[in-house]
């Protein structure tokens, strides 16, 4: 494996070198970096031209400028990267740091959401092949996939930002809105759960009645401007997650898996009360990271110790309960900060920028500000990637479902959930790993249009500005990040194959 990795890294460096030379030549020949100054009537035009020539080393031949950039990149191996300056003399390192942090924040979240929901939708449609749900989801995913990015962005701005902000000033539902929402929710739920005609009718009726009662009740409680889960809400939802995860994994009758999950849920419920003041007044991102680590390690230990021969499954269910329960605790604190946030920013959903300039809120309000700024571009990138993950998961699951070992597993009397998740899904992950590896790198480059529409100061803005100004250093910084990400994630996908399927030998 080590020999394979070293060989792939060597080949990747050769590819990056060749591509960088080609890109550098294309950029410097795409226009005249001094054109705006040549047409200027400023009295100090000659001085400005000399300054730009010095900043961009235009008095040197192109290959010497390229070698200077390449030597600066070579210093990255000693963690001292020097990517030069842009035409104004500003360090590209600092520009890249700001742009990369902004774009990676957007792309990581969008990729994670697309993976989770896309794989879940793919498994569901594979299990319910040729059903109404399958046809409906197929239509919607391809519809989202084919939407022009700029047009979908305008729709999101109009309805999820401007329209929602207007509605939030005085949240209310008309009788027609409640009726339509209840009927649509009931229809979708009965399609999702399926079953006999009688079961579908009951599901439709219960869901429709629930929404018909819940929407006016939430409005009367002013939930949309003053939302809260509370201690009881977090506890109930965490225990519901423990029961649901156990039911999906082995069934609630398996005490070896159920008890660790319930203990984890109880632990989350107690800690959210005991540490309330710490969470609310002293929280920072290091606490978030440490809390996430504990939400994984402690439930994993409980599951391994109490799970017996089901220790691996118990650990997985307990970790899922702990992580989701910790997430619900964070959501509860975000809800509590929402009224104060509305007082500082009455129109919360932003249509442009990655954060509000000079925003002076506390930790939770700052998180809300950055989250609302992140909302629209994340939704856009997620729904575009959703189709690929869902369709590849569906086709891969259907291909695996026809294999002999799946029929053998069913003939042995294994529960269907075990057949699907333990036998079929694990072997269906290989093509999904390939798509995920390429999609992450593609999203960094493909987010250029999204960032432009939403005014997001990220990698896309860095690339477009450098290209427009015939400034190679920012463009090469963009290439360095995206090219390295593409090759690195491709390598990780190859390694992941062997983890998924031990029969694969590189």
- Reported as a single tens digit per residue, the pLDDT across 453-492 is 888 888 888 888 888 888 999 999 988 888 888 788 777 7
Q: Please give the residue that has the higher pLDDT: either 127 or 241.
A: 241
Cα separation, 193 vs 200, in Å, equals 8
- Global pTM reads 0.82
Domains in the chain: boundaries = 95-171+222-500
Nearest to 501 by CA among 430, 424, 406: 430
- Segment 36-53 shows an average pLDDT of 84
For 13, the 3-state DSSP assignment is helix
- Reported as a single tens digit per residue, the pLDDT across 285-304 is 888 888 899 999 999 999 99
Percent of the chain with pLDDT over 90: 29
Burial (0-12, 13-18, 19+ Cβ within 10 Å), 172: exposed
DSSP annotation string for 478-503: HHHHHHHHHHHHHHHHHHHHHHH-TT
pLDDT at 501: 67
Most confident of 246-250, 266-270, 406-410: 266-270
Most confident of 109-113, 216-220, 428-432: 216-220
For 173, the 3-state DSSP assignment is coil
pLDDT at 1: 67
Q: What are phi and psi of 86, to 5 degrees?
A: -80, -175
pLDDT at 223: 92
- Reported as a single tens digit per residue, the pLDDT across 231-246 is 999 999 999 999 999 9
Taking each helix axis as running N to C, give the angle between helix 472-500 and helix 425-454, from 0 to 180 degrees, rounded to the nearest 10: 160
DSSP annotation string for 214-229: HHHHHHHTTTTTS---
pLDDT at 505: 57
Cα separation, 9 vs 371, in Å, equals 36
């Amino acid at each position: 494996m080590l020999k394979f990795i070293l060989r792939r890294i060597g080949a990747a460096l050769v590819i990056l070198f060749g591509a960088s030379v080609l890109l550098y030549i294309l950029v410097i020949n795409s226009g005249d970096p001094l054109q705006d100054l040549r047409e200027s009537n400023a009295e100090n035009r000659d001085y400005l031209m000399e300054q730009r020539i010095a900043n961009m080393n235009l008095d040197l031949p192109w290959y010497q400028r390229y070698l200077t950039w390449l030597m600066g990149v070579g210093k990255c191996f000693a963690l001292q990267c020097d990517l030069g300056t842009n035409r104004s003399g500003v360090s590209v390192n600092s520009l890249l740091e700001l742009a990369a942090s902004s774009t990676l924040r957007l792309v990581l979240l969008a990729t994670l959401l697309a993976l989770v929901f896309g794989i879940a939708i793919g498994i569901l449609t594979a299990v319910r092949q040729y059903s109404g749900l399958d046809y409906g989801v197929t239509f919607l995913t391809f519809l989202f996939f084919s939407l022009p990015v700029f047009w979908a962005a305008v729709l999101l701005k109009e309805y999820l930002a401007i329209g929602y902000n207007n509605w939030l000033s005085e949240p209310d539902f008309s009788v027609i809105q409640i009726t339509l929402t209840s009927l649509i929710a009931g229809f979708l739920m009965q399609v999702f759960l399926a079953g006999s005609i009688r079961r579908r009718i009951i599901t439709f009726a219960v869901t429709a009645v629930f929404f018909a009662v819940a929407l006016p009740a939430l409005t009367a409680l002013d939930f949309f401007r003053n939302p809260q889960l509370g201690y009881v809400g977090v506890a109930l939802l965490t225990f519901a997650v423990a029961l649901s995860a156990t039911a999906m994994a082995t069934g609630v009758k398996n005490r070896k898996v159920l008890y660790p999950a319930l203990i984890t849920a109880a632990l989350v419920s107690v800690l959210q009360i005991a540490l309330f003041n710490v969470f609310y007044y002293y929280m920072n991102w290091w606490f978030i990271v440490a809390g996430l680590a504990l939400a994984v390690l402690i439930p994993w230990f409980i599951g391994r110790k109490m799970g017996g021969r089901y220790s691996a499954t118990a650990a997985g269910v307990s970790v899922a309960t702990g992580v989701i329960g910790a997430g619900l605790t964070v959501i509860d604190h975000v809800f509590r900060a929402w009224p104060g946030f509305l007082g500082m920013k009455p129109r919360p959903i932003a249509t442009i920028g990655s954060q509000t300039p000079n925003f002076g809120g506390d930790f939770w309000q700052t998180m809300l500000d950055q989250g609302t700024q992140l909302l629209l571009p994340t939704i856009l990138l997620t729904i575009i990637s959703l189709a690929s993950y869902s369709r590849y998961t569906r086709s891969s699951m259907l291909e695996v479902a026809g294999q002999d070992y799946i029929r053998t597993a069913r003939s042995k009397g294994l529960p269907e959930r075990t057949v699907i998740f333990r036998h079929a899904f694990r072997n269906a992950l290989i093509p999904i790993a390939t798509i995920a590896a390429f999609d992450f790198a593609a999203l960094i480059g493909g987010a250029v249009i999204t960032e432009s529409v939403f005014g997001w100061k990220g990698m896309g803005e860095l690339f477009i500005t450098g290209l427009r100004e015939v400034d190679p250093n920012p463009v090469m910084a963009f290439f360095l990040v995206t090219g390295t990400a593409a090759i690195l994630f491709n390598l990780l996908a190859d390694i992941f194959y062997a983890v998924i399927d031990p029969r694969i030998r590189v």
